[in-house]
Amino acid sequence: MAPSFDNENSLFNFAVRDGNGVKGIVDSGLSTVPPAYIQPPAEQIDKKNASICDMPPIDLSKLGGPDHDEVVNQIVGAAETLGFFQVINHGVPVELLDSLKQTAHNFFGLPAERKAVYRKEVSPSPLVNYGTSFLPEKERALEWKDYISMTYTNDIEALQQWPVECRDDALQYLKTSHEMVRKLIAALLGNLGVELDDSNINTFIEKKTVNMNFYPTCPNPELTVGVGRHSDIGTLTVLLQDGIGGLYVKVPEEVDTEKRGEWVEIPPISGALVINIGDTLQILSNGRYKSAEHRVRTTSTKSRVSIPLFAGPEPTQKIAPLPQAVKKDGAARYREFVMLDYIKSFFENPHDGKKTLEFVKFNSA
């Protein structure tokens, strides 16, 4: 028999404070979406009228070969338009990707008390945070998602502090994707005229975090969102989707295409990884590259997982448009800032599209 959540406080306490999450609500036997999770109509995702992104995946094995320039142009073209693209032959073993998805399901299948020890208020390490939704204390409607977030400092701390149930696969994911991330940054910054070496590439991808997201089956997916509209704040995000799908990206209004302003679904491609441009890279490029506004739909058929790897600057790093990009454009569109201030602005407010960018944008941008 399903427990009765007679008011929003009891639901909030059960899902958020007690660590049961959305999975606990679903497992309790509820057959309809609680009011706290019903999104305003403007935020609900209309799957039937959304188109599928038909951009073919980019073959990274061709970088460094006779087709190098063509592949760089594909990467740059995607970054300048949608801000999202998929890659194959990326160097991360497909067997690891399969294992990661199963590991995520296994972790979220643990009893609530095993996961709740990592809630931000009680976690034994500031590097690990388990939670539900994004900012439940401030959101008008909660997101239909549970997550575990693991920030990387070094191998020793990761092995000691990350949950034993998922640390090995998560750490391997981070390490085996590093060279791919470096190659992508080299292609994108090189296109701006930046002279590249290991130190200036690493400056922009020094801080890494692996999340595992869990989207339980939802009785009324049309009323909810797994993740609300937002762009990522770092430099690049590497995302592993499962085969279920549900990731939607908004085509920027300023892009010259008949689909501008529309939401398109990024279909799962077996063995591929999704790459999306973050706000930091949009700022570094002085707006040439577009950080992708995206959101996630829920499903009624099967629980879904996704595993993003966020790569960005250290919080102490100063960020501003690169001189090479400003020289081409004639003026900087964004002011200089310390990354920590940008991080705080993002995490202190509910998801609201690309609003965090307004924090550093000059009025004329």
pLDDT per position as a tens digit, 161-190:
999 999 999 999 999 999 999 999 999 999
* Mean pLDDT of the region 328-343: 94
How far apart are alpha carbons 356 and 361 in whole angstroms? 9
Cα 60 to its chain centre, rounded Å, is 21
**Which pairs with CB-CB distance under 8 Å and at least 24 residues apart come from 358-362?**
360/283, 360/334, 360/335, 361/333, 361/334, 361/335, 362/332, 362/333, 362/334, 362/335
Higher-confidence residue of 349 and 134: namely 349
Asked if 78 contacts 50 with a C-beta cutoff of 8 angstroms, the reply is no
Q: What pTM was estimated for this model as a whole?
A: 0.94
- For the beta carbon of residue 250, count every other beta carbon within 10 angstroms: 23
Look-up of token digits 């592993």: 240
How far apart are alpha carbons 188 and 83 in whole angstroms? 12
Residue 284 has pLDDT above 70, yes or no: yes
Asked if 322 contacts 284 with a C-beta cutoff of 8 angstroms, the reply is yes
Residue 47 has pLDDT above 90, yes or no: no
- The amino acid sitting at 352 is D
Strand positions, DSSP E, 117-252: 128-132, 146-152, 207-215, 227-230, 236-241, 247-250
Residue 365 has pLDDT above 70, yes or no: no
Higher-confidence residue of 258 and 274: namely 274
- For the beta carbon of residue 118, count every other beta carbon within 10 angstroms: 22
Residue 254 has pLDDT above 90, yes or no: no
Q: What percent of the chain has pLDDT over 70?
A: 93
* Mean pLDDT of the region 334-347: 91
Asked if 22 contacts 213 with a C-beta cutoff of 8 angstroms, the reply is no
Q: What percent of the chain has pLDDT over 90?
A: 72
Say which range, 127-141, 198-212, 331-345, has the weakest mean pLDDT.
127-141
Asked if 251 contacts 264 with a C-beta cutoff of 8 angstroms, the reply is yes
Return the structure tokens found at 172: 């391997």
Per-residue pLDDT, 3? 53
How far apart are alpha carbons 283 and 91 in whole angstroms? 28
- Helix 178-191 / helix 68-80 crossing angle, nearest 10 deg: 80
* Mean pLDDT of the region 28-56: 88
Return the structure tokens found at 5: 């959540």
Higher-confidence residue of 362 and 314: namely 314
Give the containing element (helix H, strand E) for 296: strand 294-296
Binning pLDDT at 50, 70 and 90, where does residue 1 land?
very low
Return the structure tokens found at 64: 């460094």
How far apart are alpha carbons 238 and 233 in whole angstroms? 13
CA angle 282-51-294, nearest 5°?
A: 30
How far apart are alpha carbons 183 and 190 in whole angstroms? 10
Pairing of strands 236-241, 318-319: unpaired
How far apart are alpha carbons 125 and 156 in whole angstroms? 13
